[in-house]
């Protein structure tokens, strides 16, 4: 019930392509869904986040698509660049404490 399932585990995309990472959750009480980006040797950094009252949120080349009925959300990276190569984590939380339940992570490699 508390799990967030993330796929794929790794992803290789050509420069300029679209990277898509998917997450699914079970607990309908989750009400905050962030995506974090992590570079080697660094802590995770918030990339973009969404609440379940909207189906899509876009910030620059990064878009979250949210499907409440399917309990799924995904990250789309448009025009992927080598600098986007990193590990991406989806997460979810509920309530006001915001402790995060994490997906397993996706290692994204953008080939030049």
Partner 1 sequence: EPEVTQTPSHQVTQMGQEVILRCVPISNHLYFYWYRQILGQKVEFLVSFYNNEISEKSEIFDDQFSVERPDGSNFTLKIRSTKLEDSAMYFCASRAHGGRETQYFGPGTRLLVL
User: Of 19-27, 39-47, 54-62, 69-77, which segment contacts partner 1 by CB under 8 A?
Assistant: 39-47
The token pair that represents 110 in the structure block: 């953008």
Q: Return d(Cα 58, Cα 47) in angstroms, integer.
A: 11
The residues, any chain, with a CB within 8 Å of residue 63's CB and separated by 6 or more, are: 48, 56, 57, 75, 76, 78
Q: What is the smallest separation between the CB atom of 17 and partner 1, expressed in angstroms?
A: 27
Residue 29 contacts partner 1 per CB under 8 A? no
How far apart are CB 14 and partner 1 at their closest, in Å? 27
Contact positions with partner 1 (CB under 8 A) in 80-109: 89, 91, 96-105
């Amino acid at each position: 019930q508390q799990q967030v399932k993330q796929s794929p585990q790794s992803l290789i995309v050509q420069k300029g392509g679209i990277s898509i990472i998917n997450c699914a959750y079970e607990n309908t009480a989750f009400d905050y869904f962030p995506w974090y980006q992590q570079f080697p040797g660094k802590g995770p950094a918030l990339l973009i986040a969404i609440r379940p009252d909207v189906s899509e949120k876009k910030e620059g080349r990064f878009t979250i698509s949210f499907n409440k009925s399917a309990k799924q959300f995904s990250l789309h990276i448009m025009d992927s660049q080598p600098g986007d190569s990193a590990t991406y984590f989806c997460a979810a939380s509920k309530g006001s404490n915001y402790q995060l339940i994490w997906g397993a992570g996706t290692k994204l490699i953008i080939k030049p």
